[in-house]
Amino acid sequence: MLKGGLVAGQLGVVAGRLRICCRHAPTYHDQLYGGQGGMCEGILWLDGRGEMGPPYEPPSRRMSESRKKRDVQELRDASEHLFYELWMLDRVANLLALGAFGEGAMTNALLESFTMHARALFQFFFPKAPRHDDVLAEDYFGGRDAWEAVRGTTPVALSQVDVRVGKEVAHLTYARLSVTEEAKGWKILEIAAALSEVAAVFRTHVNAAALGPRFRKI
């Protein structure tokens, strides 16, 4: 067992240094979706003298710090797409809540639309491993730390949105086989309310000059 409660590891030599990929015990995600052990939580480097190298930084943190700074016009233009995501989330959530279409293709299409918009907004507000061209809330605040300071932690209602949409909607996966009928349901109004609350925080603290005309009307 490695120091710090780590239960397994992978060793390798990279450029003359010893690389230890430390793994924690299997997570809830692994147990639910049949993962093969825990995810790589850190990398320790030992040089030829057995001394520790620089601490490992998770990809999301490194990518955040190296993100291109966007000018006000880019942010303003991107905010129009953000507005669309919020607008669609609200409208589709209300249609689903009415239950007007019953069971069938129309309700399925609405649910798939809702979950995809919910995930897009979740990844905007709570990014994990963003791509360089993803629009993020932190872009409007000059960096991740400033946004996280006003955003707060992830609401419970949103804790499984990213994983579930990826496994159950966006991709055809074997994980779908282990989802029970009881677990297939979506707490639509709770998810919509949680995202709306985060959006309100964003709207309150963001520089209004970085928002497009549709945002300025609300």
Which residues sit opposite 8 in a β-bridge? 23
Q: Is 45 left (phi over 0), alpha (psi -120 to 50) or beta?
A: beta
Tokens of 201: 């925080």
The pLDDT, as a whole number, for residue 65 is: 58
- Residue 18 — φ and ψ, nearest 5°? -85, 125
Angle, vertex CA 181, rays to CA 94 and CA 190, nearest 5: 30
Overall pTM surpassing 0.75 (yes/no): no
* Assigned token pair, 43: 């990398």
pLDDT, tens digit (0-9, with 9 covering 90-100), for 72-120: 999 999 999 999 999 999 999 999 999 989 999 999 999 999 999 999 9
Q: Phi then psi for 2, rounded to 5 degrees? A: -85, 160
Write out the E strands in the chain. 8-14, 17-23, 40-46
At 99, give phi and psi (nearest 5°): 65, 30
Q: What is the largest CA-CA distance in the chain?
A: 70
Tokens in use for 89? 């989330």
Distances (CA, A) of 184 to 43, 62, 136, 163, 164: 36, 35, 29, 13, 9
As a whole number, the mean pLDDT across the chain is 80
Q: How many CB atoms lie within 10 A of CB 177?
A: 7
Cα distance between residue 187 and residue 182, in whole Å: 12
pLDDT the model gives residue 120? 98
Low-confidence residues in the chain, pLDDT < 50? 1-51, 55-57, 60-62
User: What confidence score (pLDDT) does residue 183 get?
Assistant: 93
* pLDDT of 218: 65
Q: How far is CA 127 from CA 9, 61, 63, in A?
A: 27, 10, 11
Q: What is the 3-state secondary structure (H, E, C) of 56-111?
A: CCCHHHHHHHCCCCCCHHHHHHHHHHHHHHHHHHHHHHHHHHHCCCCCCHHHHHHH
Distance between start and end Cα atoms, the chain:
56
